[in-house]
Structure 1
Amino acid sequence: MKSITRRTWAMVLAVSMPCVIGTQTFAEGSPTSKDEVVYVNLNHDGSVDEIYVVNVFELAQPGKITDYGDYSAVRNLTTTAPLSLQNRQVTVDVPAGKFYYQGTLKTREMPWKVGISYTLDGKSVSGEDLAGKSGHLEMQVSLTQNHSANPLYLENFALQATILLDSERCKNIIAPDATVANVGENKQLSYIVLANKEKSFSISTDVTDFEMSGIQINGIPLTLNIDDPDTAELMDKVYELQDGAVELDDGAAKLDDGVTELQDGVTELKDGAIDLEDGAYDLFDGTKDLKKGVEKLSDGSDALTDGAEAFRVGLRTLTSQSDTLTAGSEQVAQGLKQIEAGSEQYLAQLDQLIAMFSKQRDQLRKAQVQPMKDTGNPPESLTLSMEDQGMLLAMIDDQIALLEQLRAGYAAIDAGIGQLAGSYPALNVGIHQYTEGADTLSGAYYDLYDGIRELRGGMSELSTGAQDLKQGAKELYDGTVDLRDGSDQLYDGTLELKDGTIELTDGTTELRDKTWDMDTEVDDRIDEMMEEYRNKEFVMPSFVSPKNTEVDAVQFVMKVAEIEVEETPVPPEEEAEQPGFLQKLKNLIPFGKKKTDGE
């Protein structure tokens, strides 16, 4: 059986309301059985204006009725027999059959509270002042429980509110929660409030010369015979939800495991980024030392070049003046002592050159060996290849050997000068030997000079390469810093992701736990809901007085005052004098016949 819709409830209530008044006979002297129809006149704001009750009895034979109620006035609606109202007790002699009497209650207390408010064009207005007005109207209606009333009414009675709006006076009707029907020229808006429930709803419309019949609210006991609904489709959805919760929980667990692996990998990446940053910094720091060493080596090569140039000039002078040296041997003899002193200085200069080349050779070897030691690979950013560097080292070694040879030769010359100084006769021979040695030295020196110039050019390339290596190492270090920052952010992100997956798995596990027996809970809840609206046995209480113990049915009919324009009384027109018998005879003269003088 399909679920009962709001429209179905409206139909059920509409059919049920005319049938709530039952019939029952009673024996004389037994408690009087009756039905109560409670009519409530409400003001425009929903407050109670007046309550009166029509009491309905069914008698199999004439007798006396005794009824109870706190009435301010009573009236016989069936016969002319007088009603006795004393000490909240009503008595009357009635004939057999249906008997009705009306009593006006002193109380204005109802099981439900009705609240109605109106706004016209956004301004609050009373219902009385709405009659004949035009504009945009909004109504707010609330139906709430009065917990000071008998709870049996709240627990077992449903309410149906009906509002009729004139389609000519009301346009663009918006009533979101209403069941709308066309009733002649009116729009009927219906609302259902089930037992133990409350409801508020709004209606908006554009009105012209507004008038409205009174809102009617009926209350009847809601006890229906309802078959169990067909829940197969619903339960299929529940089973799908349960299976989905299991799959979702399994997937969340796998996701959490994956995030754990990702977190481990990011941790390794972060550690590697730290090591790479440290290594890049050491490389950058080493390139700074290398550049300084190359600068010193370049400065030394410049000094070596300058000394070689000066030495070359001296050799040229020495060679060109060999004849003069021979001719001026005596001057040489006299200056031998001076030359001897100078030769010691020259030997010292050669020692300095040898020491300078040796130092540069050691620095170059260190610059070549240190990167290999740190990285295991030759520095790719150096301008000179390893082969070129080896050649450069070999050249420097050759130059050192040549300088050492030169020093040894000059030492021999120095010894010769000493001998020359000690033995002038052998001076000429020594001068000739010296001249020849000078020529040999001059020829060999040109090779040394060319090597020194090549060394200077190589030092320039080495300096440029060292600068490029330093710049590359700086960029590499900056990149490793960015990489480390990125790995830190990625690691922080994995921490947040891990927290999120933990919360997700907690949620999916909770969902799985709460849905595993949802099918049983849904069945039980449906049974509870259906049981709430199935026929329930309860003793119908009298709304009028607890002394009325034999009450078959109680019905509430509440109506809000109409909103209508008061009509101005029109004075009655004077009735035209009716023609008498003679006049009627005159009127019988045929149409168009002229009267004669004798007529």
Structure 2
Amino acid sequence: MRSKTIFVVLLTIVLIFPSLFLNAALNEDAAKDSGGNAANGEYKSKDEVIYATLSATGEKEALYVVNRFEVTEPGQIIDYGPYKNVKNLTDTEEMEQTDQKVSFEASEGEFYYQGNLENQSLPWDVSITYTLDGKQTEPQDLLGQDGKLEITINTTKNENVDPVFYQNYLLQVSLTLDPTIYNNISAPNATIANAGKNKQISYTVMPENNGNLTLSADVTDFELNGIEISAVPSSMSIETPDVGEMTGEIETLSDAVNEINSGVAQLEDGIKELNTGVAGLADGSQQYSNGISEVNQSSTELVNASNSIKDALTKMNQSLKGESGEMDLSQLTQLPEGLSEIGSGLNETAAGLMTLQKNYVSAFNALNQAMEQIPENNITEEQMNALYNSGANSDVVDQLIETYKAALTVKQTYENVKEGFLAVEETLNSVNGTLTTMSGSINTMAENISNSLAKMDTAGSLEQLQAGIAGLSENYQQFHGGLVNYTNGISQLANNYSELNGGIAELSNGTSELANGAGELHNGTSELADATSDMPEQIQTEVDQMMDEYDKSDFDPVSFVSDKNDKVKTVQFVIKTESIVKEEEKTEEVEEEEEQGFWSRLVNLFS
């Protein structure tokens, strides 16, 4: 049986291998040029997918790249990268690596190989912290714990890596949570979706932005699958939105704000006028209040004076009623005679003053002449000393000097009072004339009284006087009562108006504050009007800036591993943190696999 199997194998080799050897020879000849060297292959594009594993807190642990080529011409392909080692993922052909240069033989179609990186960093620094019940906790210490969990994921720019990826790539951060472990999930700015029985929490970090992502939940028996982070170029083309309708509405709003501002300006002017009027009212009210208070304070004096007049009229009326029949008017006939005697005495006094005036003038003229004869010589101190030194009798000299000084004093004093002496004459003339006039008036009065007494009906006149005084007294009683009522009203008015005046003062303060508030309101609406006047243009500008910021449609991909690589079509990053899960006991069966050659594998196909 065994010999039969060997025969079949040998027969198969005979039938198959000539064609295999022939094809291999032909391919080898085609892959070489006339000089015996390998021909250069061509590829249309290259894709790079960077795989990274991080610790549970975000530190890099492993990093490798899967390179994909779309080969259009078979032959030798050259690629570049600082790989620690490389591995062919397409066939069993060996790959050559010299420093950062990688070369390999590729057939037409897709070719894959993996390159492991050791000292390369990601374009983003990732930091993950865990807090349980408000206390920061290491990931390994969280396993199996219960409580209030908060996870914070921070992504920032790595300054040591080409910024082109940070500037043009968006990050998608995803966590898969088991609902039997996580409850009351809160993830601001994240999308929460169902993924089978689990909850999928997804965040997006835009290009040129740092991520500050938080998640909180109540956990029971904590476990966490690895956090996944993917980075892809934000190369989608964003269509500019049509903001015409919105800017039209904003322009309408701007016009409305301008109208409001104009209305507030008019309101401010009106309130200012109102405040001015109320301020004037307050000033006038204060003056009126002061005046009515003064009138009220004078009311007591006015009532007392009126009461005195009332009492005097009452007494006068009573006197006329009780004594008018017994009044003796004979003494009235003596009044003209007494007045005549007074007039005569005034005439005699005037005559005496006339004589006095004449004598005074004569005496004054004599005095004036004597004073004018006193010389006005000015004797100096030196002249007086010379007189003493001349040998004259010093006593006589003393008398002469004393007389000289006294004469000067008298003359000076006279000059000072001379105007008074001159006025005496005029005063005497005026008094004399006045006395003469008074004498004539008194004599005329005496003559008129005498004539009136001769013609007067005494009894009738007294009856008329009595009746008039009685009527006046009665009417004044009523007047006094009205005056008392008037003063009481003034007192009440003064007291009540004090409160009214206080209210007007408060009104004035209120309108003043209202005017200030209207001024501030107008300032605010003016600023609002200024701010919204060009709002449509501002909105369009902001939209354009946002479009420029997020529209990365003109981005040309570059290689992550080497700037020498060309025809790069896509570069993507797939990043995952280690899971925090319980280890399961497994029985690993290690099978030693005998290294088999081509012949052994071929024999196994038929065994």
The TM-score with structure 1 as length reference comes to 0.62
Please point out which of 552, 555, 561 is paired with 1:544.
561
Number of the residue aligned with 2:273: 264
Distance 2:588 2:572 in 1: 42
Distance 2:526 2:464 in 1: 90
Number of the residue aligned with 2:493: 472
Number of the residue aligned with 2:218: 206
In the TM superposition, residue 269 of structure 1 has moved relative to its aligned partner by 3.3
Identity %: 27
Q: 1:552 to 1:510 in 2, by over 3 A?
A: closer
Distance 2:194 2:226 in 1: 17
Please point out which of 486, 498, 501 is paired with 2:522.
501
Distance 1:519 1:178 in 2: 27
Please point out which of 167, 173, 186 is paired with 2:179.
167
1:22-37 correspondence to structure 2 within 5 Å? 28-29=39-40, 34-37=46-49
In the TM superposition, residue 53 of structure 1 has moved relative to its aligned partner by 1.7
Please point out which of 581, 584, 602 is paired with 1:567.
584
The answer as to whether partners of 1:266 and 1:490 remain within 8 angstroms in 2 is yes
In the TM superposition, residue 172 of structure 1 has moved relative to its aligned partner by 2.2
Q: 1:156 to 1:447 in 2, by over 3 A?
A: closer
Instruction: Kindly provide the amino acid, as one letter, of the partner of residue 40 in structure 1.
Output: A
1:214-253 deviations in Å (ceiling 9; x for gaps): 1111112232355x4663xx43232112112112202321
Distance 2:121 2:110 in 1: 29
Q: 1:513 to 1:237 in 2, by over 3 A?
A: closer
In the TM superposition, residue 50 of structure 1 has moved relative to its aligned partner by 2.0
Q: 1:139 to 1:281 in 2, by over 3 A?
A: same
The answer as to whether partners of 2:67 and 2:112 remain within 8 angstroms in 1 is yes
1:349-388 deviations in Å (ceiling 9; x for gaps): xxxxxxxxxxxxxxxxxxxxxxxxxxxxxxxxxxxxxxxx
Distance 2:191 2:205 in 1: 12
The answer as to whether partners of 1:260 and 1:498 remain within 8 angstroms in 2 is no
Confirm or deny that 1:140 pairs with 2:152.
Answer: yes
Q: 1:108 to 1:307 in 2, by over 3 A?
A: farther
Distance 2:545 2:66 in 1: 40
Instruction: Kindly provide the amino acid, as one letter, of the partner of residue 463 in structure 1.
Output: V
In the TM superposition, residue 561 of structure 1 has moved relative to its aligned partner by 0.8
In the TM superposition, residue 501 of structure 1 has moved relative to its aligned partner by 1.2
Q: 1:237 to 1:48 in 2, by over 3 A?
A: same
1:441-452 correspondence to structure 2 within 5 Å? 445=466, 448=469, 452=473
Number of the residue aligned with 2:571: 554
Q: 1:205 to 1:56 in 2, by over 3 A?
A: same
Please point out which of 292, 302, 316 is paired with 1:293.
302
In the TM superposition, residue 107 of structure 1 has moved relative to its aligned partner by 2.2
Distance 1:509 1:223 in 2: 39
Please point out which of 286, 301, 322 is paired with 1:277.
286
Instruction: Kindly provide the amino acid, as one letter, of the partner of residue 303 in structure 2.
Output: V
Instruction: Kindly provide the amino acid, as one letter, of the partner of residue 259 in structure 2.
Output: D
The answer as to whether partners of 1:162 and 1:188 remain within 8 angstroms in 2 is yes
In the TM superposition, residue 312 of structure 1 has moved relative to its aligned partner by 5.9
Instruction: Kindly provide the amino acid, as one letter, of the partner of residue 510 in structure 1.
Output: A
Instruction: Kindly provide the amino acid, as one letter, of the partner of residue 472 in structure 1.
Output: L
Distance 1:105 1:542 in 2: 14
Confirm or deny that 1:241 pairs with 2:253.
Answer: no
Distance 1:502 1:571 in 2: 81
The answer as to whether partners of 1:245 and 1:511 remain within 8 angstroms in 2 is yes
The answer as to whether partners of 1:164 and 1:186 remain within 8 angstroms in 2 is yes
The answer as to whether partners of 2:47 and 2:67 remain within 8 angstroms in 1 is yes
The answer as to whether partners of 1:44 and 1:126 remain within 8 angstroms in 2 is no
Q: 1:463 to 1:489 in 2, by over 3 A?
A: same
Confirm or deny that 1:489 pairs with 2:510.
Answer: yes
Number of the residue aligned with 1:151: 163
SS in 2 for 1:496: helix
Please point out which of 106, 111, 130 is paired with 2:118.
106
Q: Which moved more, 1:307-316 or 1:76-85?
A: 307-316
Distance 1:93 1:30 in 2: 8
1:492-527 deviations in Å (ceiling 9; x for gaps): 421330232133124213312333x46864775576
SS in 1 for 2:235: coil
Distance 1:519 1:174 in 2: 33
Q: 1:28 to 1:177 in 2, by over 3 A?
A: farther
The answer as to whether partners of 1:295 and 1:463 remain within 8 angstroms in 2 is no
Instruction: Kindly provide the amino acid, as one letter, of the partner of residue 555 in structure 1.
Output: Q
Number of the residue aligned with 1:192: 204
Please point out which of 103, 121, 127 is paired with 1:115.
127
SS in 2 for 1:163: strand
Distance 1:513 1:566 in 2: 64
In the TM superposition, residue 303 of structure 1 has moved relative to its aligned partner by 4.5
Number of the residue aligned with 1:590: none
Distance 1:489 1:480 in 2: 14
Distance 1:204 1:544 in 2: 37
Q: 1:493 to 1:189 in 2, by over 3 A?
A: same
In the TM superposition, residue 93 of structure 1 has moved relative to its aligned partner by 5.1
**For structure 2, which runs of at least 5 residues remain unmatched after alignment?**
1-37, 336-448, 590-607
Distance 1:548 1:470 in 2: 108
In the TM superposition, residue 158 of structure 1 has moved relative to its aligned partner by 2.3
Number of the residue aligned with 1:216: 228
Confirm or deny that 1:129 pairs with 2:141.
Answer: yes
Number of the residue aligned with 2:442: none
Instruction: Kindly provide the amino acid, as one letter, of the partner of residue 557 in structure 1.
Output: V
Instruction: Kindly provide the amino acid, as one letter, of the partner of residue 566 in structure 2.
Output: T
Query: How many aligned residue pairs are there?
Result: 435
Q: 1:541 to 1:495 in 2, by over 3 A?
A: same
SS in 2 for 1:543: coil
In the TM superposition, residue 97 of structure 1 has moved relative to its aligned partner by 5.3
Q: 1:267 to 1:304 in 2, by over 3 A?
A: same
Instruction: Kindly provide the amino acid, as one letter, of the partner of residue 524 in structure 2.
Output: E
In the TM superposition, residue 543 of structure 1 has moved relative to its aligned partner by 1.3
The TM-score with structure 2 as length reference comes to 0.61
1:536-584 deviations in Å (ceiling 9; x for gaps): 252x322112233343332111001111012356799xxxxxxxxxxxx
1:148-179 deviations in Å (ceiling 9; x for gaps): 42122123322222211112222222223222
The answer as to whether partners of 2:41 and 2:74 remain within 8 angstroms in 1 is no
Number of the residue aligned with 1:87: 99
1:155-209 deviations in Å (ceiling 9; x for gaps): 3322222211112222222223222222221111222233333332222222222
Distance 1:30 1:65 in 2: 5
Distance 1:523 1:97 in 2: 44
**Higher CA-based Rg:** 2
Q: 1:446 to 1:105 in 2, by over 3 A?
A: same
The answer as to whether partners of 1:168 and 1:185 remain within 8 angstroms in 2 is no
Distance 1:264 1:170 in 2: 68
The answer as to whether partners of 1:291 and 1:467 remain within 8 angstroms in 2 is no
C-alpha root-mean-square deviation of aligned residues, in Å? 4.1
Q: 1:199 to 1:62 in 2, by over 3 A?
A: same
Instruction: Kindly provide the amino acid, as one letter, of the partner of residue 546 in structure 1.
Output: D
Distance 1:525 1:34 in 2: 33
Q: 1:262 to 1:571 in 2, by over 3 A?
A: closer
Distance 2:469 2:312 in 1: 14
Instruction: Kindly provide the amino acid, as one letter, of the partner of residue 50 in structure 1.
Output: A
